[in-house]
């Protein structure tokens, strides 16, 4: 890499460094929001799939099968085009003419969250099934109510068992946020496209973007693994 | 329900299925060959070769596929050396760029699956075979590979489904696969719900086809697993 390339990705007056770092921050925020939405949906999905009512189980299975069998990009597109059309339609019904659109951040985060929820459903479900039944019995015998049981016995252990799978899902969510670039959100990939268009240096900027994705993935992965280790101490003998 | 429109749309979207299947099939085969080579490196006696395999897997698993596609499609054109090499006729076409990116990407995941499957072969079976005097290719063909296949086949089937879904990203670099056609139709008619729902159903059916194929392969290759 020569000096002019370094200036271009650097933080000087001609450098894109600052913009790239801000965009990487937005990528991280989008991934966090998507993962959180996925967590809520995943919990709900796992509850559905573990339910004793066949209809609820069927809904849960439908959710995970469909959302895991369709490309993420289609879901992002569906929300992007469909979301704005639905909103415009609603606003027309309410008496507001014109075209309305949702911010692409919201659309993208919901779409990616919906997909990640399907994967998180499986993570929570299999973690729940690994729980020691005896502990739930014991909790009941001690007179714990359902809420206390859930809060003190079920939730902490399910989370601990699900953690390795959740770590993998987090990594894929982080990478999937790159899809938000095609609906116009200026996250890391979009910012790199803008920069490579302005400087005619696509290799440099996409390469930098790749490195930043790697860095974010490695750092968060390291964090998750150390939490895993710490929480795993009670199983060590 | 506007049935004529749905039928026409489904007809147009289905013309993208051959390209989607082509991308999936070629990348799956090329990716498997690469994955097997990388997995072989990961088991090598020389530490630098093992590091190389880990670096390869880490690079392709750690970055978004879309970035990889862009680097190959837009970035490689910047390298003067490549532009004058015999590779350029391929790298100048979106089709080959997509195939290269998809193959490299899936090979990194495939390598991990193969490595895991080979590591899962029980040590004592290998030792028993060695005690019987088997070694080298015979040991691999009779003991290691059949066992590894048993452990790895289902995982590789999942990877094939992920690959099928990943081919949709080729539409971003102008390829007219199912997603590319869907996008074009939506920007023409703005009837996004119907069009994307039908394309979703096409992908879902293709997923089920892959699941069915993997089941058939399992029954054919692993008769002892039959219940």
Q: Which residues of A touch B196 (CB under 8 A)?
A: 74, 77-78, 81-82
Decide if A236 is inside a domain: no
Residue A1 in this model has a pLDDT that exceeds 70: no
Give the pLDDT confidence score for residue B225 in this predicted structure: 55
For B189, the closest chain A residue by CA position comes to A81
Decide if A4 is inside a domain: no
Give the pLDDT confidence score for residue A236 in this predicted structure: 64
Task: Kindly report, residue by residue over B114-153, the tens digit of the pLDDT.
Answer: 999 999 999 999 999 999 988 888 998 888 998 898 889 9
Range of the structural domain that residue A203 is part of: 17-228
Domain count along chain A: 1
Contacts 24+ apart (CB under 8 A), A181-187: A181/B66, A182/A73, A182/A76, A182/B172, A183/A76, A183/A77, A183/A80, A183/A104, A183/A107, A183/A108, A184/A104, A185/A26, A185/A30, A185/A104, A185/A105, A185/A108, A186/A23, A186/A26, A187/A23, A187/A24, A187/A26, A187/A27, A187/A30
User: What is the count of residue pairs from A and B with beta carbons less than 8 Å apart?
Assistant: 113
Task: Kindly report, residue by residue over B212-223, the tens digit of the pLDDT.
Answer: 999 999 888 877
Task: Kindly report, residue by residue over A110-166, the tens digit of the pLDDT.
Answer: 999 999 999 999 999 999 999 988 998 999 999 999 899 999 899 999 999 999 999
Decide if A235 is inside a domain: no
Among residues 43-82 of chain B, which lie with CB inside 8 Å of chain A? 58-59, 61-68, 70-71, 74-79
Task: Kindly report, residue by residue over A163-194, the tens digit of the pLDDT.
Answer: 999 999 999 999 999 999 999 899 999 999 99
Task: Kindly report, residue by residue over A48-88, the tens digit of the pLDDT.
Answer: 999 999 999 999 999 999 999 999 999 999 999 888 888 88
Q: Which residues of A touch B65 (CB under 8 A)?
A: 175, 178
Give the pLDDT confidence score for residue A230 in this predicted structure: 87
Mean pLDDT of B19-39: 97
C-alpha A72/C-alpha A69 separation (Å) is 9
Q: Which residues of B touch A207 (CB under 8 A)?
A: 71, 75
Closest to A70 (Cβ–Cβ): which among B68, B172, B204? Answer: B204
Q: Inter-chain contact A77–B196, Cβ cutoff 8 Å? A: yes
pLDDT band, residue B99 (cuts 50/70/90): very high
Give the pLDDT confidence score for residue A94 in this predicted structure: 85
Q: Which residues of B touch A88 (CB under 8 A)?
A: none
Q: Inter-chain contact A175–B63, Cβ cutoff 8 Å? A: yes
Residue B32 in this model has a pLDDT that exceeds 70: yes
Closest to B179 (Cβ–Cβ): which among A74, A81, A192? Answer: A74
Give the pLDDT confidence score for residue B227 in this predicted structure: 46
Task: Kindly report, residue by residue over B147-188, the tens digit of the pLDDT.
Answer: 898 889 999 999 999 999 999 999 999 999 999 999 999 999
User: Can you list the alpha helix ranges (DSSP code H) found in chain B?
Assistant: 3-14, 17-42, 47-62, 65-70, 80-83, 88-91, 94-119, 123-131, 136-139, 145-166, 178-189, 192-221
Closest Cα of chain A to B62: distance in Å?
Answer: 5
Q: Which domains does chain B possess?
A: 17-175 (1.10.3720.10)
Q: What's A131's domain CATH number?
A: 1.10.3720.10
pLDDT band, residue A3 (cuts 50/70/90): low
Q: Inter-chain contact A77–B192, Cβ cutoff 8 Å? A: yes
Residue B105 in this model has a pLDDT that exceeds 50: yes
Residue A2 in this model has a pLDDT that exceeds 90: no
Decide if A182 is inside a domain: yes
C-alpha A161/C-alpha A153 separation (Å) is 13
For B168, the closest chain A residue by CA position comes to A71
Give the pLDDT confidence score for residue B30 in this predicted structure: 97
Inform me whether the C-beta atom of residue B165 falls under 8 Å from chain A C-beta atoms.
yes
Decide if A233 is inside a domain: no
Cβ contact A206:A196 at 8 Å:
yes
> B interface mutation test: which of A81, A83, A213 has the most B CBs within 10 A?
A81
């Amino acid at each position: 890499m020569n000096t002019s390339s370094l200036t271009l990705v650097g933080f000087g007056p001609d450098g894109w460094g600052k913009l790239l770092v801000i965009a990487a921050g937005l990528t991280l925020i989008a991934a966090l929001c998507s993962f959180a939405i996925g967590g809520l949906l995943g919990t709900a999905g796992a509850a559905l799939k573990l339910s004793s009512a066949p209809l609820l189980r069927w809904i849960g299975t439908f959710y995970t099968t469909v959302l895991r069998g369709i490309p993420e990009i289609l879901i992002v597109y569906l929300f992007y085009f469909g979301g704005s059309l639905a909103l415009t339609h609603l606003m027309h019904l309410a008496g507001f003419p014109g075209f309305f659109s949702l911010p692409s951040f919201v659309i993208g985060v919901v779409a990616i969250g919906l997909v990640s929820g399907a994967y998180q459903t499986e993570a929570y479900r299999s973690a729940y099934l690994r729980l020691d039944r005896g502990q739930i019995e014991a909790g009941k015998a001690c007179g714990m109510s359902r809420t206390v049981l859930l809060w003190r016995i079920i939730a902490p252990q399910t989370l601990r068992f699900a953690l390795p799978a959740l770590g993998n899902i987090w990594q894929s969510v982080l990478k999937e946020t790159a899809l938000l670039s095609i609906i116009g959100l200026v996250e890391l990939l979009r910012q790199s496209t803008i920069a490579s268009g302005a400087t005619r240096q696509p290799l440099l900027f996409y390469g930098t973007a790749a490195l930043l994705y790697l860095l974010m993935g490695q750092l968060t992965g390291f964090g998750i693994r150390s939490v895993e280790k710490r929480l795993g101490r009670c199983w060590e003998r | 329900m506007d049935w004529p429109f749905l039928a026409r749309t489904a007809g147009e979207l289905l013309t993208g299925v051959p390209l989607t299947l082509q991308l999936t099939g070629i990348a799956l085969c090329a990716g498997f060959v690469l994955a097997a080579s990388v997995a072989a490196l990961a088991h090598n006696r020389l530490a630098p070769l093992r590091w190389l395999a880990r670096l390869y897997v880490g690079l392709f698993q750690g970055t978004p596929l879309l970035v990889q596609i862009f680097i190959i499609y837009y970035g490689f054109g910047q390298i003067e050396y490549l532009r004058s090499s015999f590779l350029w006729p391929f790298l100048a076409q979106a089709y080959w760029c997509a195939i290269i990116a998809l193959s490299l990407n899936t090979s990194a995941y495939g390598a991990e699956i193969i490595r895991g499957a080979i590591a899962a072969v029980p040590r004592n079976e290998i030792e028993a075979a060695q005690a019987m005097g088997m070694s080298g290719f015979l040991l691999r063909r009779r003991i290691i590979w059949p066992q590894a296949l048993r452990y790895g086949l289902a995982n590789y089937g999942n990877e094939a489904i992920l690959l099928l879904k990943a081919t949709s990203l080729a539409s971003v670099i102008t390829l007219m696969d199912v997603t590319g056609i869907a996008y074009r139709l939506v920007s023409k008619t703005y009837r996004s719900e119907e069009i994307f729902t039908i394309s979703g159903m096409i992908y879902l059916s293709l997923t089920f086809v892959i699941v069915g194929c993997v089941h058939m392969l399992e029954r054919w290759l692993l008769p002892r697993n039959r219940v």
